[in-house]
Chain A
């Protein structure tokens, strides 16, 4: 049972305050938010930082609920994804990972790269452009989640797509929220 201790040590060394793996629904989203909120509250975090972390968490979690691709491996179908929050002295890190079908990667990647190429004003313009013209998708999204994460965090979105199989990659996303209030 050494893996329990190993996992514990990994969480400690990576400064993780919350890890959830499994099926993601609106109900699990609410539970995760409540747990993280209690944790951040009890640490005495500034309310403005807490709100930004909460913001990014909601968008990351609802992205998984709405967009994570179902993993089909023979008879096994799974929606398993992972969500992590880390807290270091200077920042929070909101991290997520979920399966994505390879054909869906180019569209996602170009969207993320477009967002990372914009400054504060560029993001604001993009947000207004999307909100004016968007309609809520069948999945219930407005297409604004990543733009909002970039705006609220003030940081670039970090992402990778390690390969899982011939059909799937694992979409890994990290968003840092600085703990010092930006100027």
Chain B
């Protein structure tokens, strides 16, 4: 599978989806003008990955900030990951960022995937 690699910008996150090396990570800031358009390639990549997924997948979210339009798309990403066997979400939050911790907990209540919480 091709690697999806997007450089982060001041309003979009850095994204690496690399099946071969087992790296699945969305990090940084997400406040794009058009969140649906921005996350479309991610959702398409996951759809393809779901039919040929690795035995286990640790999908990392290490977000500093996201806007509400992105939060809907993050839920869409999580929903797309939900049916993949061996899926685990690793949700990072800054140690003094209670809002990001709470956001992760809320997402974990909305989908049936195990979440691991880590601070950075």
Contacts and interface: CB of A to CB of B under 8 A. Distances in A.
B109 A128 contact: yes
Given A62-B31, A142-B68, A142-B71, A55 B99 contact: yes
Interface stretch (A1-9, A44-52, A72-80, A85-93): A44-52
B11 A140 contact: no
B36 A136 contact: yes
Interface stretch (B16-24, B41-49, B81-89, B90-98): B90-98
Interface residues of B, number: 24
Interface of B: 10-11, 31-36, 65, 67-69, 71-73, 75, 94, 96-99, 106, 109-110
7 contacts: A48-B97, A52-B99, A62-B31, A62-B33, A136-B69, A141-B69, A142-B71
Interface of A: 26, 30, 34, 47-48, 51-52, 54-55, 58-59, 62, 65, 124, 127-128, 131-132, 134-136, 140-142, 144-145, 147-148, 152
Which 6 A/B pairs are nearest by Cβ-Cβ distance? A144-B68, A26-B33, A142-B72, A136-B36, A142-B69, A148-B68
